[in-house]
Structures are given as structure tokens and as C-alpha cells.
Amino acid sequence: MLEIKNISKKYPGVQALDDVSFNLEAGEVMALLGENGAGKSTLVKILSGAVARDSGDILLDGKMFPRRLTPAQARKAGIAIIYQELSLLSQLTVAENIFLTREPSLCGGWIDYKTMNKAAREQLAKLKADFIDVTRKAAALSLPEQQMVEIAKALAVDCKVIIMDEPTTSLTWEETSELFGVIEALRSCGIAVIYISHRMDEIAAIAQSAAVLRDGRLVGKVSVRETPQESVIEMMTGKMLDYSARHQDGGIEYQQENIILSVRNLGDGKQVNDISFDVYKNEVLGFAGLTGSKRTETARLICGADIARRGDITLRGRKIKARTPAASIKNGIGYLSENRKEEGLNLGMTNRENVVISALLKVSVFLYINFKKVHSIFEMYKKSINIKGDALTPASNLSGGNQQKVVIAKWLHSGCGILFFDEPTRGIDVAAKAEIYKLIRSFARENGAAIVVSSDAAELALVCDRALVFSRGKIVREMRGKEITQEELLSEMSQARTGRQPDSAANGGKN
């Protein structure tokens, strides 16, 4: 169905794609794999018409694509893309989003809403999502519902190839399972799917083949079922990875004198209720929970990003008030947001400016910034945590993994002793994940303590010394050491989602 022949694309100083070729059959689900910066995004942009290729050919059903392909031409030809950041217009209805720019009209140019709403229901019915009210605004939909609308929008243009870019980033595994059912339905209709993800378990569950890119070149296209996962990862990275980030059992002394942060009866008066727990010196504590468990909301209350209406926070024996993020930073508490592009970085600033922005007084003399010192600080972190980017490069030009490293460098420079890592490896490749896990462990060992907020059970099981399971704004279970396995965490998080009441281990074991 789709033929990619000798595609190349060069940016100033970077060969983004170099002679990439592969075929995609009707009804095939092919994973497009590679580290951040391998060329996946560039290839997707070329297929969608957002970027022009320098050389090479693209054929869909034997028809050649023009060199200067536009997004409208790509959609009309049958290529649809569902981006990681969903592209629905929040104030339009479901039907209006599905038929945006292709609305059926009445005489005089008025939109035929009756016909449009009926057609929108038919598209959603194909996905078994006709429970979604097509007259509701997109802003009122849940994330999984929005994703279904995105897919319906793609199907409405009679697409032949759907490209899904990290479609499960914000979904629970139950919602992910529903999405996989939709993909199987698409396959049965002969629609080909290019599936981009850094989650290898998803690739094994849904894809038949995998095309692996490394440094802009196609390393190979392999059968997912016949190729060991370790071999696929080695193709992506060019090496075997070391995941030795896990702390040894017994490494943390859970004694009163080693408590550096104590939270009691914390709440916002709405969704977070009576949260109590302790954080010990040099530990990595996990906040586990699915979407809606309020684990992130709890972290934001402690860091001053949101306002706590009640409760006490004690830092190294001293009560503090987390009224603003600036106050928390001054107290030595940092928050690495799950939304790094909007809340972690200033994408228009250079890498070196992003690194020092949370502690400008450290690089200032009489309110004048010493840029020589700024440059020196960035170069130190570039070397120590392996940032692949120049000091004067805008942060927007970096891959996701390197953007995350710049955010981590920012918090290291700020001098925080306690740092919340909220979904620290979301949208990051397997090699960068291994490096970030080591950075988390190193931070806890050298600075004070790290708190990892995540819905990824495998991640928490790998990097945490202790984990607190959240459900509906409460802590329902504390797990330590060998108790923290992926299977046990998944079980606890799933039971918590169904509304299980807190047990005797809840609230950090303080009940």
C-alpha cells in the first residue's frame, strides 16, 4: 500500500534522514522505532506534508506523491495522523471537529448540522464509540474520548494509512486495551497503521513488524514476534542497555531521625483529602496511581503550584508554607512537571538560559547576569548528564529526552534537596529512560530525596525504594523493597481504581 523509497532530509548541520526505504502492506500494523532524534518525527512530517523531502519517492497505492506535498494533499490521498498532543479544537463540537473544513452545506452556504451530526455518529459507530454525544464540545470529553474523536476524524477522510504518534501517553492500560481493539478493527478493514511508541510491551502486543531508525538511517525492518525485545533495543541504540538504577534492599534507614519531609493531613478542600506520609533521607519514593488518582495534584500542593487549604508540611524539622512555587524552591523543594514543554521549559530560550532560570541570583552580580558563568554551568551539566545539545541552541530544537535532561539540570542548579519527578520518562526512548533512572537515583543519593510520580508500574518497580498507591485523593497502600513489583503495583492500582477503601497500611502506615 505504502512505499517509501530512498527518503533523505537534511537540516543545517544535521542529516535527519539518510536514504530510508521500506514498504507497508494493507492491514499491517508497523511500529516505527528509534531513539529521540533518530528521525521518526521528520519522516512523519514528510508523510503528512508538513515538511518537504530533499530526495526520494513516496507511493500510495502505486501513485507517486509530489515532492512539495501539502498536508491537505496528504489527507486527500489517504494519510491521517493522530499526534501525541491531540489537535481537537476544544470549543467546537465533536461533529464539527470530525468534519472540520469538510462540513456538509445547505443552499446558501449554511452548514447542514443534521447531516453532519448523523455522519459523525456513523464514524464513531465504526469504533464502537457511538456513546459519545456528537453535539458536546470537545473540551467536555475525557482524554480517551478525545482520542476516539481523533480517530473518527481520520476515518472520515477515507484514510488508507493512519500514523499514531505515542497514542497511549496519557491513557491507562484499560483505555490502552480499548485503543488496541480499535486498531484491530482498522486492520480488519485493510487500513495500515504506523505506530510510534517507546513502550516495548505495547509494540509486542499490537504490531506485526517494526522499522528501526538510528541516526537518520533505517537499521532494518523486522518481525516483532520473531525478534527478541533485547535485539530490537540493541538495533535502536547500537548497544546493550544497563538498567542498574534499582537501589539495593535495605539501603534506606527508616528511622525518625532520617525523615527529611513530613506531610500531615494535606488537602485542597476538593479532591485531595488528608494525605499523610514521610520521606526519608536518600530514598526514592514513588507516587503510584492511574489517571484520576490525584497523585499529581498532591505533588503540586506540596510544591506550591496549587494552594493547600489544610494540612502541615515539615521540612527537616521546620514547618513550611507552600504558598507559591518560588517559596517552595527557596525551601529546597522542586517540581519537574509532567508537561515539560509548557511548565518545565521556556522553548524560546537557549539551553543554557533554561538551566539557570530557576536560580538567577547564583549567576548574577548586582542584578547583571554573568553569561560566562551561565555558559560554564551549562557545559558542566552537559558533560555530567550527557545533554546532546549546544549551549546556545533553543530548547525547542532538542529531542524529548534531551529536553528532560535540561529540566533536570535546571533543578540540580537550583540546589533543591527534594525533587518531584512527575512522569519523568513520558515520550522518551529506552536509552534516555535508562539514563534518567540513574539520574534520579544519583539525585536521591547526593542531594536528599526524590519522589517519582508515575502511572508506569514497570518504572516505579525499577527505580523506587518505597511506593505509595493513590486512589481518588487518598493513599490506600504503602509498599517497600521486594513488595514493589510491576505485577503487585498493577494489581494495587487497578483495585484502587475500582474504589477499594484504604487499608491499615494507608497514609504512609500512619493509620
* DSSP-derived secondary structure letter, 219: E
Confidence of residue 171 (pLDDT cuts 50, 70, 90): low
Mean pLDDT confidence for 175-188:
82
- Per the structure block, which three cell numbers stand in for 375? 555558559
52-61, 99-108, 249-258, 312-321: the lowest-pLDDT one: 249-258
SS3 42: helix
Confidence of residue 135 (pLDDT cuts 50, 70, 90): very high
pLDDT at 506: 40
- Alpha carbons 354 and 376: distance in angstroms, whole number: 14
Residue 14: beta bridge partners?
11
Confidence of residue 246 (pLDDT cuts 50, 70, 90): low
Q: Find, among 128, 81, 442, 472, the residue nearest to 294 by Cα.
A: 472
- Alpha carbons 416 and 26: distance in angstroms, whole number: 52
- Judge whether residue 138 has pLDDT over 60: yes
pLDDT in tens, 468-486: 999 888 899 999 888 888 8
- Judge whether residue 511 has pLDDT over 50: no
pLDDT at 503: 43
Confidence of residue 502 (pLDDT cuts 50, 70, 90): very low
pLDDT at 500: 47
pLDDT at 501: 45
Question: What average pLDDT does the chain have?
Answer: 85
SS3 483: helix
pLDDT at 126: 79
The residue that leads in pLDDT, 25 or 143, is 25
pLDDT at 371: 92
- Judge whether residue 210 has pLDDT over 70: yes
Mean pLDDT confidence for 262-285:
92
Mean pLDDT confidence for 348-358:
92
pLDDT at 458: 83
Which distant-in-sequence residues (6+ apart) come within 8 Å of 107 by Cβ?
none
Please report the domains of the chain, with CATH numbers, ordered by start residue.
Answer: 2-237 (3.40.50.300), 256-509 (3.40.50.300)
- Alpha carbons 159 and 78: distance in angstroms, whole number: 4
261-275, 423-437, 463-477: the lowest-pLDDT one: 423-437
pLDDT at 172: 65
* DSSP-derived secondary structure letter, 343: I
- Per the structure block, which three cell numbers stand in for 154? 481520520
- Ranges of beta strands (E only) in 94-235 are 161-165, 192-196, 209-214, 217-223
Q: Strand 55-60 and strand 2-11: pairing?
A: antiparallel
Mean pLDDT confidence for 28-50:
88
- Judge whether residue 509 has pLDDT over 90: no
- What is the percent of the chain with per-residue pLDDT over 90, rounded to a whole number? 36
- Alpha carbons 133 and 251: distance in angstroms, whole number: 53
- What is the percent of the chain with per-residue pLDDT over 70, rounded to a whole number? 92
pLDDT at 183: 87
pLDDT at 283: 93
Burial string for 362-374 (b: 16+ CB within 10 Å, else e) reads ebeeeeeeeeeeb
Mean pLDDT confidence for 268-292:
89
- Judge whether residue 170 has pLDDT over 70: no
Mean pLDDT confidence for 155-165:
85
The residue that leads in pLDDT, 85 or 447, is 447
Mean pLDDT confidence for 4-33:
90
